[in-house]
Amino acid sequence: MLGPGKAELLELIRDTGSISAAGREMKMSYKRAWMLVEEMNAAFRDPLVASTRGGPGGGGARVTDVGLTMLRLYRAIEETAARAAASDILMLKSMLRDIPPQK
């Protein structure tokens, strides 16, 4: 329903006001970006992104209040998980070839 790529897409839509601009920033087609937005909107009770059609004045998109809340919660979960797993992640990184362990 929501992962790192979709969270980044939401942030870029929030920042640019555009699904196509957000997709370009992520090096993906408009079709792919739009498909991901549709998946997110379908997965939640309320839409995470609201869009208006293009035309003479141009279209646009905005992350809804629900989308902003979802994004904040997702980033908080990421931070909590990273803190909880920090020592295990450090151990895994120390086992990688040619990458010095981070402190």
Q: What are the respective helix, strand and coil percentages of the chain, to the nearest 5? A: 60, 10, 30
- Pick the closest to residue 64 from 89, 47, 87, 41 (CA basis): 47
- What torsion do the CA atoms of 32, 37, 40, 45 make, to the nearest 10 degrees? -150
Name the CATH code of domain 4-94 (choices 3.40.1360.10, 1.10.10.10, 3.10.20.520, 3.30.565.10): 1.10.10.10
pTM of the model: 0.81
Query: What mean pLDDT do residues 6-27 have?
Result: 95
d(CA 38, CA 15): 19
Where do runs of H (alpha helix) occur along 17-96? 19-25, 30-43, 65-84, 86-94
The pLDDT tens digits for 33-90 are 999 999 999 999 999 999 887 666 667 899 999 999 999 999 999 999 999 999 999 9
Q: Domain limits of the chain?
A: 4-94
